[in-house]
């Protein structure tokens, strides 16, 4: 296929970094305690990150409510992070870096342990590293950056009994991820201590939490790519 003036198309790109944000309802921008409420694009953490990084970065949002690392949440389809990771990368490439911000839904599942979440995260990292064709030059895979989510708030005693124990797993997740990812030389950022859950529900962030997350992740991304 020919381009302008009959010349073949090439893989030429403008000097811009593409960052894919792959996450759950906090990446989607869910407003705490609302079933369908969503923050505006400039309030959501990918929008904050985009503003912090500037014009040389293209930020792609892919947030899905209920998404986990690799676990199904029946009867809701497509909630395992493995299901749509490759198609999402294909529709967004060429990609320089993929931010994986998952785990909040995982800790709420009674049949999933911290070790299971770490293993699931490792599977996603392996998938990204196997996709050389979606990287910046078509021969090098995108760089994965795993971000541990906030520590979920205390689940009310009258809440869903399946969620009991989520706080303890969430408290242990960041250290477990850091230890594992160090063994596979994967970049890592922990949002525990950076972002607090909303007082309205233990799973989601207020606008201030999105600002803090966006700024912290932007600083990490800039350090990795610049």
CATH at residue 180: 3.40.50.1110
State the residue range of the domain holding 205.
14-225
Evaluate whether residue 154 is within a structural domain.
yes
Structural domain count, the chain:
1
Q: What is the pLDDT of residue 74?
A: 82
**Stated pTM of the model:** 0.91
Q: What is the pLDDT of residue 158?
A: 55
Evaluate whether residue 8 is within a structural domain.
no
Evaluate whether residue 72 is within a structural domain.
yes
Q: Which residues of the chain have pLDDT under 70?
A: 1-15, 156-163
Evaluate whether residue 186 is within a structural domain.
yes
Q: What is the pLDDT of residue 14?
A: 54
Q: What is the pLDDT of residue 65?
A: 96
Evaluate whether residue 122 is within a structural domain.
yes
Evaluate whether residue 166 is within a structural domain.
yes
Evaluate whether residue 199 is within a structural domain.
yes
Task: Fill in the DSSP letter of residue 136.
Answer: S
Q: What is the pLDDT of residue 165?
A: 84
Q: What is the pLDDT of residue 160?
A: 61
Evaluate whether residue 2 is within a structural domain.
no
């Amino acid at each position: 296929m020919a381009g302008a003036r009959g010349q073949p198309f090439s893989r030429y790109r403008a000097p811009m970094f593409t960052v894919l944000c792959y996450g759950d309802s906090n990446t989607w921008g869910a407003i705490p305690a609302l079933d369908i409420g969503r923050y505006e694009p400039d309030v959501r953490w990918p929008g904050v990150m985009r503003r912090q990084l500037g014009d040389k970065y293209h930020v792609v949002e892919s947030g899905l409510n209920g998404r986990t690392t690799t676990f199904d949440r029946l009867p809701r389809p497509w909630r395992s992070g493995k299901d749509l990771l490759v198609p999402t990368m294909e529709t967004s490439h060429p990609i320089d870096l993929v931010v994986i911000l998952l785990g909040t839904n995982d800790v709420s599942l009674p049949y999933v342990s911290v070790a299971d979440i770490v293993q699931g995260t490792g599977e996603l990292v392996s998938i990204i590293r196997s996709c050389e064709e979606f990287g910046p030059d078509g021969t090098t895979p995108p760089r994965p950056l795993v971000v541990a989510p906030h520590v979920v708030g205390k689940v009310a005693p009258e809440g869903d009994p399946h969620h009991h124990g989520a706080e303890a797993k969430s408290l242990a997740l960041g250290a477990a991820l850091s230890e594992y990812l160090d063994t596979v030389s994967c970049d890592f950022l922990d949002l525990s201590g950076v972002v607090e859950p909303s007082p309205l529900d233990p799973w989601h962030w207020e606008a201030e939490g999105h600002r803090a997350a966006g700024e912290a992740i932007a600083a990490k991304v800039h350090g990795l790519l610049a």
